[in-house]
A and B are shown apart, each in its own frame.
Chain A
Amino acid sequence: MSKPKSPARQRWRGLLPWLVPVLIVALWQLAAQVGWLSTRILPAPWAVLRAGYELALSGELFTHLGASFARAATGFAIGGGIGFFFGLINGGYRLAEHLFDTTLQMVRNVPHLALIPLVILWFGIGEEGKLFLVALGVFFPIYLNTFHGIRAVDPALVEMGRSYGLNGWALFRQVILPGALPNILVGVRYALGFMWLTLIVAETISATSGIGYMAMNAREFLQTDIVVLAILLYAVLGKLADVAARLLERTWLRWNSAYQPA
């Protein structure tokens, strides 16, 4: 520990990470106002904010946000659930690993976005296709990290648990799952990243609602302010998902000092 910092200095430290973004936005606004930057290329930040305000007033913004969020959550639940399940059984049973792992590793090496033409053929441009892509995108990070998490559980602790009368479900719930949790949550954070990425691509290709649809629609009418707004919304949603994952880490991994705020 170094010498105690004064509260004023600490406040400065808290603001420091925001210095660069604020400067960039200020410069951007200046460039747009002076006319260095054509609004066809990039609208002023102020114009983006106004577009957001107007869309919020009309309610359109929330319809699209809600549609995107529902897709993300459903796809994540389906893909994450299946990934978690396979991670558990393949991590826990050698037989299951032998049976499934090679197949899954082969599928993993196909970029899931390359399947888009096929997915459109299969599902048309409805919801199912998008959910399928999101689910596929989140499946692998969760599968891989759950698998490694289970494998990385200290065998000494498992042996101890057994010799103290734990087995089956109790052993899994009290020793194996908590031991694998740090890895599983790493998988969740990766998966959240993949989730937004997949959703953006899926929504820009074919959709009748959602933020991606909003952006593509705006592009047709040269509404650059709405396009930029959509991009910013994705950034905000991504950040929120990351905050949620951190919150999970802080509550579920309370025991692990590595996951506690300094």
Chain B
Amino acid sequence: MSGIDRKEFERVAEQGLRPANGVAVQVQGAERRFGERTVLSTLNLDIRPGEFVAIVGKSGCGKSTLLRLLAGLDEADGGALSINGKPVRGLDDDTRIMFQDARLLPWKKVVENVALGLPGKKWAVWEAARKALAQVGLADRAGEWPTRLSGGQRQRVALARALVHRPRLLLLDEPLGALDALTRIEMQRLIEQLWREHGFTAVLVTHDVGEAVALADRIVLIEDGRIALDQRVELPRPRSRGDAAYAALEGRVLDRLLTVQALNARNQVRGKVVAIRSDEVLSEVEIEVVSADGRRDSVISTLTTRNLREHPLEVGAEVVAVFKSNEVALALPR
């Protein structure tokens, strides 16, 4: 038995412990255009039943578009998408989607929101909704208006609303993007735990590589509407963020992602490393940049020393400083 085969065997064995509930997803040559702009071009992706796949990529790369195609909310302009061999045509009862914002109906109590669209007698539906709320730890908030909940609690209600339908494919469209770091980690644990319990196939779109590494069996990087990287995550669960292998993998995917972003003219400055100051935990890299009008200025980047050791930099190296547009802080000079 070769190494890969054994791993495959172990994975199948591990999955055997989980309910076989998930569906297989197949995307063949999917295309999606908005007017002149091609968002997805001949994209191929195979997802096994019960697999947890994370899709990462810079904003506008088409990752959310792919998810909407899978959800049946949009139609592909070309290619074929199928779930368990059946072509995707419109909305499917076995597929549920969680959006970036919770999208709770403000005029319905929490429990009514969870029960939304469930067929059956009212008491049975509410009973099911209450159980789902208990699973996400919000049983005591059933009778409240959604506006009374925090952002994290709203997303938990949205998760309960998705799970109560017993989906076989759960699509997650950056559902944790707007949450603070602690709440996000809590939610990730909850999603992982419920995924293991219910055994659905999960597709998570995220811009947070750490989140992808924490949750996914596989990380797929989309770039210009195509798959640029398809990375298995072989780390045992539950995964701990402090783990060296975890950090290495996160760094690798992030690197790949940043190379992609470096080709993009937005949110970046080119410059030369002029100084590196290393501490035990954190390091500072000072980069000299020359602006268009010839003025010299410097940008100081703080990163973990461990990260710096993995990607050695020398004084004098030409680099591109890239930053997230939503994480820029502006301050007045002293």
Contact = CB atoms under 8 A, between A and B. Distances in A.
B34 interface: no
A62 B24 CA distance: 74
B147 A257 contact: yes
Contacts, number: 51
Nearest to B102: A160
Interface string B93-110: 100110101010111100
A164 B96 contact: yes
Given A162-B91, A174-B105, A255 B145 contact: yes
B105 A175 contact: yes
A58 interface: no
Contacts of A181: 107
Contacts of B96: 163-164
B69 interface: no
B179 to A, nearest CB: 18
Interface in A108-165: 156-157, 159-165
A256 interface: yes
A249 to B, nearest CB: 13
Contacts of B117: 161, 164-166, 170
B165 interface: yes
Contacts of A179: 107
Nearest to B158: A160
Contacts of B108: 174, 178, 255
A160 B99 contact: yes
A176 to B, nearest CB: 11
A162 B119 CA distance: 14
A156 B99 CA distance: 9
A160 B145 contact: no
A255 B147 contact: yes
B73 A157 contact: no
Contacts of A170: 117
B333 to A, nearest CB: 38
Interface string B141-160: 00001010000000000000
Interface string B72-103: 11000000000000000001010011010101
A256 B106 contact: yes
Nearest to B101: A156
Contact of B107 (A156, A162, A166, A178): A178
Contacts of A163: 71-73, 91, 96-97
Nearest to B91: A163
Among B73, B91, B101, B117, chain A packs the most CB atoms within 10 A around the CB of: B117
A161 B165 CA distance: 13
Interface of A: 156-157, 159-166, 170, 174-175, 178-179, 181, 253-257
17 contacts: A156-B99, A156-B101, A156-B103, A157-B103, A161-B117, A163-B97, A164-B116, A165-B93, A165-B118, A165-B165, A166-B117, A170-B117, A178-B108, A181-B107, A253-B107, A255-B107, A255-B147
Given A157-B103, A162-B91, A178-B108, 12 more contacts: A161-B117, A163-B71, A164-B165, A165-B91, A165-B93, A165-B117, A165-B119, A170-B117, A174-B116, A175-B105, A253-B107, A256-B107
The 3 closest A-B pairs by CB, nearest first: A165-B117, A164-B117, A160-B103
